Amino acid sequence: MRISRAELWAGRSLLFGLMAITILPFISIFMTALHPSGTVPRGFEWPDDPQWGNFVEAFKVAEMPSLLASSTFIVLAVVPIALAISTMAGFAIGHLRIPGSRSLLFLFVFGLTLPFTGIIVPLYYLERDMGIYNTRLAIVLPLIGLYMPFAVFWMRAHFVNMPAEISEAARVDGVSTWGLFWRIHLPLARAPISSLGILMSVWTWNQFLIALVLVEDPTQRTMAGALGAFQGHYATDIPLLCAGTVIIVLPTLVLFVLFQRQIIAALLQGSVKG
């Protein structure tokens, strides 16, 4: 591709500008976090005496260790179960094409457009009746349910494209339906399963509304839910609030930088299929 020098420079400057706009907010809260707790600093100013202790303080008041443990627990409970049951359902609907698959698919797709805000109120009363309100299960169980439309749709899209010959050949060799799923199709579905796993982990970690409404104790919530509570308590102490935000966002940022290629690919595929 031949591109004029002028265009090259104009284009690159535009991109640099956008990158700066994306990064500056992060730098601003990082610098603000280093100002003495309780002061109202200016928006973009390196402090005379950086208060690194703010991060320690925020780490303590946000109860980071129990937060990390809670979020990790929720992700580890939601993602494997959601992966397992959606893969099985996607296999039955997309590949076995059981009678009623079309209606089933339609039923799941209907859920794709339902916003969480639309069903949060009955979910609250439902969980009170079930006795799981204010426990981690109150987040785990609805999230698994809420991911099903997308997850089943996603896995079906994979299985529907698998050639029927693979299964026919195995059938003739006397492989059972379970064997067909477990030994033949599951290993072939590794790529879509891992993308789905990444997607659901990010969504779970960042889930706010469900955590806010269904769990009162911030240390039993997801990271995003805990951040909301943290803001409620420290809204007036700006440096401490910024320090807390930095600490809570940091694990995601580190993971993103480490696995950026996979995460970007998963999030993009996710939206294209959805």
Map the footprint of other proteins across residues 211-270, applying CB under 8 A: 212-213, 223-224, 227-228, 231, 238, 241-242, 245, 248-249, 252-253, 256-257, 260, 263-264, 267-268
Tell me if 202 contacts other proteins by CB under 8 A. Answer: yes
Between residues 79 and 223, which has the closer beta carbon with respect to other proteins? 223
Stretch 17-36 residues interacting with other proteins (CB under 8 A): 18-19, 21-26, 28-29, 32
Question: 239: closest CA among 55, 59, 62?
Answer: 55
> In angstroms, what is the minimal distance from the CB of 173 to other proteins?
7
- Of residues 82 through 141, those in contact with other proteins by CB under 8 A are 84-86, 88-89, 91-93, 96, 98-100, 104, 107-108, 111, 113-126, 141
Cβ count within 10 A of residue 249 = 16
Which 3 state secondary structure label does DSSP give 44? coil
CB 200 within 8 A of CB 82: yes
Would you count residue 172 as binding other proteins (CB under 8 A)? yes
Task: Find the distance separating the first CA and the last CA of the chain, reported in whole Å.
Answer: 33
CB of 154 to other proteins, least distance (A): 12
The least CB distance from residue 46 to other proteins, in Å, is 13
How many Å apart are CA 255 and CA 274, to the nearest integer?
Answer: 24
Q: How far apart are CA 247 and CA 36, in angstroms?
A: 17
Where does this chain touch other proteins (CB under 8 A) — which range of 13-21, 46-54, 55-63, 183-191? 13-21
Q: Give SS3 for 273.
A: helix
Helix, strand, coil percent content, the chain, rounded in steps of 5: 80, 0, 20
Which tokens sit at 82? Answer: 């959601």
Q: Give min distance, CB of 195 to other proteins, in A.
A: 14
Number of residues that bind other proteins (CB under 8 A): 100
